[in-house]
Homo-oligomer: A and B are copies of this chain.
Amino acid sequence: MSKIVRLEKKILEKNDEVAARLRKKFNGLGLKVINIMSSPGAGKTTLLEETIKRISNRVSLGIIVGDLATDLDAARMERAGCAAVVQINSGGRCHLEAAMVEKAYEEVKGKLDILIIENIGNLVCPAGFDLGEDERVMVAALTEGLDKPKKYPGMYRQCGHLVINKIDLAQVLNIDPEQFEHEALTVNPKLRVFKTSAANGNGLGEWCGWLESMVKG
């Protein structure tokens, strides 16, 4: 085994340790934690803005936002009405790690029901890093094309839930959301799939319903 592979293994083992500690802490607090991952521009932030508007009067929602270099997304979530937003600036790093989340969580204010972690926009690297979450959600934009589940199988297999977003563009793209769902299920048959348009609100009821059910359940 090469030195690089050994070191990568060590980084992942260390990350798993911190993630296990975090998971125990979150469970003890009765806090449900969701790690949201996607390609850049799939619509994670717009989806979260619309989610905040719809459920934040019933569910106490906190968001940790990973970003390479800016705080643009965190500012958008605050404007949408989320009181507990913490920004992680990854300093150019391509994924979030459990230690970053542990540190950011210290800054989250108030008692929360759900903590959403918006990962760095990247379909490869974030899949390797456990953040202590209960659920991993992937957001895929219909605009990315039908071949993406097969081309990025690691990410699709690591998630339990898939949001197929931008379905309002189905007709103009000539891509059928059902076909995208079929491609995704071919790679990971266990995925629970939501089909949404964060832009026009379609499908957000089912998505928000699932989030709320995590708290009630």
The distance in angstroms between the C-alpha atoms of A63 and B144, with both chains bound, is: 22
Copies, count: 2
Instruction: Check A3 for interface membership: any CB of B closer than 8 A.
Output: yes
Check A154–B68 contact: CB distance below 8 A: yes
Set of chain B residues within 8 Å of A148, measured between Cβ atoms: 40-41
* Interface stretch of the complex, out of A21-29, A99-107, A122-130, A204-212: A122-130
Interface residues on A, range: 35 or more
Instruction: Check A11 for interface membership: any CB of B closer than 8 A.
Output: yes
Instruction: Check A147 for interface membership: any CB of B closer than 8 A.
Output: yes
- Tell me, rounded to whole Å, the shortest Cβ–Cβ distance linking A168 to chain B: 9
- Tell me, rounded to whole Å, the shortest Cβ–Cβ distance linking A190 to chain B: 19
The distance in angstroms between the C-alpha atoms of A156 and B211, with both chains bound, is: 36
Residue in B4, B120, B151, B153 whose beta carbon sits within 8 Å of that of A40 in the complex: B151
Instruction: Check A94 for interface membership: any CB of B closer than 8 A.
Output: yes
Instruction: Check A186 for interface membership: any CB of B closer than 8 A.
Output: no
Set of chain B residues within 8 Å of A185, measured between Cβ atoms: none
Set of chain B residues within 8 Å of A16, measured between Cβ atoms: none
Instruction: Check A177 for interface membership: any CB of B closer than 8 A.
Output: no
The distance in angstroms between the C-alpha atoms of A113 and B4, with both chains bound, is: 36
- Tell me, rounded to whole Å, the shortest Cβ–Cβ distance linking A171 to chain B: 9
Instruction: Check A69 for interface membership: any CB of B closer than 8 A.
Output: yes
16 A/B residue pairs, CB under 8 Å, sorted by A:
A3-B7, A39-B121, A41-B143, A41-B144, A41-B145, A68-B151, A68-B152, A69-B152, A69-B153, A69-B154, A73-B151, A92-B124, A93-B124, A121-B152, A122-B123, A169-B172
